[in-house]
Structure 1
Amino acid sequence: MKATLRRWWRQLTSMRTALVLLLFLAIAAVPGSLLPQRRLNIEQVRQYFAANPELAPTLDKLWLFDVYAAPWFAAIYLLLFTSLIGCLIPRLRTHLTALRTPPPDAPARMTMLPQHRALDTTTTVDAAKAGLRKAGYRVAVHETNGRATVAGEKGYAREAGNLLFHFSMMLLLVGVAYGSIFGWHGNRILVAGEDAAFCNSLQQYDEYGLGAGIDATSLPPFCLQLNDFEAKFAEDGQPTTFLADVLYSEDGSAPSEQYDLRVNHPLDLDGASVFLLGHGYAPVISYTDRYGVTQTSTTAFLPEDMSLVSNGAAVFPDANIDPETGERDPDSQVAFEGLFIPNAPEQPPYTTSISPAADNPRLLLIAYRGDTGLDDGQPRSVYSVDVNQIESGELEIVETEQKFLAPGESVELDDGSYVTFEGFKPYATLQVREDPGELLVLVAAILMLGGLMPGLIVKRRRVWVRVGDEGTEVGGLTRNEYEGFAEEFDRLADEINEAGTARDTIGSKA
């Protein structure tokens, strides 16, 4: 059993296994680049679900919209982390030992070396040492059979760079894991207006995720309110300016501090960052029931294309309450599905928007009457009418005039009630995120680049200068493939030869 475990451990901690796991990690990260991720942009995930209603749930079960939080992704980088530790610790120990060990003696027959040269002069050990040290070599002197050999070696920065790169990769994995455990994020569609302001609690988010080391009580107590939203678009519909005018407070009180929230310019609040991801429109819809009671709904409609043509719903579960008895008939609840076009063309068909700017807004509403299903206590989407209630017949469509309403226009239902398109409010799609591992990841990325350069550029090589009465010979070899070593060796040999020539000249003059 011990032999089997030792064999598996040796296999796991080999450099080949580490490289394979690194390849698997890169492949596993590909879906995070190709598919929208909830941590980055929940709006794009919603749009993907709307465009691919059959495929998206299957992908979601495989965690492909939360790739970096997926169990299979965590398993890969934990195995990679373990493999790197088992691989790098012995390499570090070997490298430190090599740094403390003097360069070895030359082989007995230096003519067997890839580079060899017999000099015309006889140099000294001190001159050879000085020449090698000037070229950046570590130097050691060996005495063999009455002849002195000066051994020089350099290029240890290559292995140091490799070790720095791989240890930085481990630090990066630690940063990712630390951020995943102690980080959190939440996504919120924030409609303009004081009534839509929210404070930082899980119940206020449309979607959220907490790390294993975070609970709901540890969230910072800030509040946010959207005053207005400014969006400018180019002629082709591409956004040129997104500016959210927000108010905030960091102590849980009513928002009072102003901030211009822009894309890539987040608002920092007590360790968390508020990012602007996008925007849209929330139509203001009022419904006056058969008893003359008016209720108003302001609900965000979700964009279905780049022109911000949007779908949404307005539900009125408290409609048609008899004022004499105060009783509510659950089968008289009312809901509307709507299609909002920000800038409708002048003439039908109204199938698309001229631009994302709300210059000529129109709203098409489909009315339903019956049981909306909100009384059963089950959580339901606020962005659509419950399909199950429609399919079961508990919620039935109401025959009304189908037309696109301009702001202020109304449509009457068959029972004398009517619905009015009052106008719209802009909303901003926000993501609040705290990732305490960001600094570690940044430092790791910088160190990886710092270790990559010497690992690619520096070459390890050895040079020996053997000094004796018979003359001086120089030999060298590289520990890595290095095409320029022959030129470097010739240059170094010339310098040592010139030093010996100068010595002979001074000696002859003396």
Structure 2
Amino acid sequence: MRDPRETQEEDRGRERGGDRRPGELTVRELLRFAWRQLTSMRTALVLLLLLALAAVPGSIVPQEGVDALKTSRWQEDHPKLTPVYEALGLFDVYGSAWFSAIYLLLMLSLVGCIIPRTAVYWRALRAQPPRAPRNLTRLPDSTSYRTDEDVEQVLARARAVLRRGHRLRRADDGDDGAVSAERGHLREAGNLLFHLSVLVVLVGFAVGGLLGYRGGVILVTGKGFGNVLSSYDDFVPGSLFDPDQLDPFSFVVDDFDVDWLTEGRGAGQARGFSADVRYREEPGAEEEAYDLRVNHPLTIGRTDIFLIGHGYAPVVTVRDGNGDVAWSGPQPFLPMDQSLMSFGVVKAQFADPQQIALEGFLYPTFGMSEDGDPMNLFGQAANPLLSMEVWTGDLNMDEGPSQSVYVIDKSDAVKVTDDGERYRLDLRLGETAELPNGLGTVTFEDLEDWQRIQISQTPGKLVALAGVVLALVGLLGSLFIRPRRVWVRARADGDGTLVEVAALDRSGGGDVTAVVEELVAQLQGPENDRTKGQGTT
């Protein structure tokens, strides 16, 4: 048989909510429960941890908006994982729906945490310090002594001493014979400020991501740049970016200098590099000079210009079978490791009768390993060698500018061989080689430097910086401000006035013995002979 109480409870539930059984939640109650869970501090910490973990794939997996070429190479090398990563949005982590969801939920959770705690803190600021406990000497940090002064004199002196740095309870609040004081309310303000600062930082990043942009360009030394969209090699705008935001500047890289290590295990590696830049803030403006270095960006208007990398651009001349120049100029090669061994492609689209493409490696300082394999010894160009394979045929370059300059469409091209044998073009600086089958010649004319320049606008960076500063201030306040309460009670007895002093650390673990001793010394004053006796608990 069913318990009659269960039946009665079900009847009452039906009266209140139709057929709802005990324990069932209405939509309103369910939403309220979900909101409380979302705005709890535990949820905010979990979301903050998830946001940090979600950013990890963005630093491991190549991102399309940062390095499209590296991303395409990774996809070619991992054909099975590529569809999975694309479905998960791992090639554009910071623009994916799941990363944005974590970001927005964290902001919502922080707002839900901060507002109620601020209301509680405001009420605590307006509230009076609590009354003194009935038995002060039972507190862990307390003391008592006797004096010939009357009760009012002791309490007046206690108020005068505690008024400096403490908030006192009003004397007319029904706490006769005792003085209550407290301090350290700024500790909770520090906690609130720290949580608010996290929200400010998130807002700063969001503003930068929505309204700003980031672009990159590779410039060979001596070449210039005008700040228009068509000049960028890659360009990642924010969702609300307006092309009118582009500042109308231009600049030219006149010279590039690398400080090479000459001794030790790092000999031949770059210790630092800088570029001499001439720029104009707008057309017709006076030209100015700037020494562009790593971590020393050039700021023009709202735009920051960074020097983030460098490499080599071999100057190659390709002549076709008729002896006509089909290609000539510097072609930037992309470094593959810290030694600046670089990969690149040269495409001679106008070669006759067939188009010619070169694909291979640049060794700035060529050497041979003990096993006889080619290797690059140093980043400094002491013995440059260009080693490339040759392709000929239709390179399908009429498809438009979408084809990468570092990728050869080999669907309608064939690799050049020499009498059926594998053919590879190895050229040292200044050398010329004839291609098989009368295709033409290739000359390694010179070796120039190129610089990787990043150009960006981040409107929210000052907001994010303010958030970081607020976080430090709030953290210092929450760590070093000790909230405590102090009580002084005086009452007359047969031997004079008995004074009890006690203090309590509200943060836990704090030692307030010194506070009690200092307060007693101030209450007694310099004439200690008035004290008849003193005891400490």
TM-score under structure 1 length normalisation = 0.86
For 2:527 and 2:369, locate their aligned partners in 1 and report how far apart those are by CA, in whole Å: 96
Residue correspondences, number = 486
2:357 pairs, out of 314, 335, 347, with 335
Secondary structure of the 1:164 match is helix
1:153–1:462 CA contact under 8 A, matched in 2: yes
Q: 2:330 aligns with which of 295, 298, 311?
A: 298
Matches within 5 A, 1:307-322: 307-320=339-352
User: Structure 1 residue 13 and structure 2 residue 42: aligned?
Assistant: no
Q: Distance in 2 between matches of 1:366 and 1:441?
A: 49
| Equivalent position of 1:273 in the other structure | 304
Partner of 2:374: 351
- Check 1:427–1:20 CA distance in 2 against 1; reply closer, same or farther (3 A cut): same
Work out whether 1:86 is the aligned partner of 2:118.
no
- Check whether the contact 1:342–1:358 (CA below 8 A) recurs between aligned residues: yes
Q: Which amino acid aligns with 2:462?
A: L
Q: Does 1:415 align with 2:433?
A: no
- What is residue 183 of structure 2 aligned with on the other side? 154
SS in 1 for 2:490: strand
One-letter code of the match for 1:282? A
1:32 deviation in Å? 4.7
1:16-57 per-position Cα deviation (integer Å, ceiling 9, x unaligned): 211222222232334455567677x74995698499655985
Partner residue in 1 for 2:522: 495
Query: What is the percentage of aligned positions where both structures have the same residue?
Result: 39
Choose from 447, 460, 479 the match for 1:424. 447
Amino acid at match of 1:397: K
2:509 aligned residue: 482
What residue in structure 1 maps to residue 17 of structure 2? none
Q: 1:211 to 1:32 in 2, by over 3 A?
A: same
Matches of 2:373 and 2:337, distance apart in 1: 14
Residue type at the aligned position of 2:155: V
- Residue 492 of structure 1 aligns to a residue in which SS? helix
Letter in 2 for 1:219: L
Find the partner of 1:234 among 236, 255, 261: 261
In the superposition, the TM-score normalised over structure 2's length comes to 0.82
* Equivalent residue number for residue 383 of structure 1: 406
Deviations 1:108-166 (A, max 9, x none): 333443333332125522111122224x2211244688942210111111111111111
Distance 2:351 2:46 in 1: 62
Q: Partners of 1:146 and 1:266 in 2: how far apart? A: 64
> Superposition pairs for residues 461-480 of structure 1, below 5 Å?
461-470=484-493, 471-480=498-507
Shift of 1:257: 3.7
Give the deviation of 1:71 after TM superposition. 3.5
Aligned to 2:3: none
The answer for the alignment partner of 2:315 in structure 1 is 284
Distance 1:360 1:254 in 2: 43
- 1:367 is displaced (CA, Å) by 1.3
User: CA separation in 2, counterparts of 1:125 and 1:220?
Assistant: 69
Distance 1:316 1:205, change over 3 A: same
2:390 to 339, 350, 367: 367
* 1:191 to 2:220 alignment: yes
- C-alpha RMSD over aligned residues: 3.1
Aligned runs of 1:70-149 on 2, under 5 Å? 70-121=96-147, 122=149, 123=151, 124-134=154-164, 136-142=165-171, 147-149=176-178
2:427 paired residue number: 405
What secondary structure does 1:72 align onto? helix
The offset of 1:248, in angstroms, is 2.3
Give 5+ residue unaligned stretches, structure 1: 322-331, 506-510
The answer to whether the aligner puts 1:178 opposite 2:201 as a matched pair is no
In structure 2, the CA distance between the partners of 1:253 and 1:356, relative to structure 1 (3 Å rule), is farther
For 1:352, what is the secondary structure of its paired residue?
strand
Greater CA drift, 432-441 or 231-240: 231-240
Q: Structure 2 vs 1, CA of residues 52 and 464 (structure 1 numbering), >3 Å: closer, same or farther?
A: farther
Report whether the alignment pairs 1:443 with 2:466.
Answer: yes
Counterpart of 2:388 in structure 1: which amino acid?
L
2:251 is aligned, of 202, 209, 224, to 224
Displacement of 1:273: 1.0
Q: How far off its partner does 1:179 sit?
A: 0.9
Equivalent AA in structure 1 for residue 290 of structure 2: Y
Separation of aligned partners in 2, 1:17 and 1:146 = 42
Cα deviation for residue 467 of structure 1 reads 2.3
CA offsets per residue over residues 286-338 of structure 1, 9 Å max, x none?
121122211214321111111111111111121116xxxxxxxxxx2111113
Structure 2 CA distance for partners of 1:297 and 1:473, relative to 1, 3 Å: same
- C-alpha contact 2:179 2:488 (8 A) present in aligned 1: yes
- Structure 1 distance, partners of 2:257, 2:174, is 87
Aligned to 2:5: none
Cα 1:347–1:137 shift into 2, 3 Å:
closer
Report the CA distance between 1:429 and its aligned residue: 0.8
Kindly provide the amino acid, as one letter, of the partner of residue 106 in structure 1.
Answer: A
C-alpha distance in 2, partners of 1:485/1:504?
A: 23
| Other structure's SS at 1:305 match | coil
For 2:344, the aligned partner's letter is G
Q: Separation in 2 of the partners of 1:118 and 1:25?
A: 54
C-alpha distance in 1 between matches for 2:125 and 2:136: 24
Residue segments in structure 2 that go unaligned for 5+ positions in a row: 1-26, 533-537
Q: CA deviation at 1:341?
A: 1.0
Residues 438, 156 of structure 1: CA spacing in aligned structure 2 closer, same or farther, 3 A cutoff? Answer: same
**205-214 or 401-410, larger mean C-alpha shift:** 401-410
CA distance in 2, matches of 1:43, 1:244: 25
- For 2:116 and 2:416, locate their aligned partners in 1 and report how far apart those are by CA, in whole Å: 75
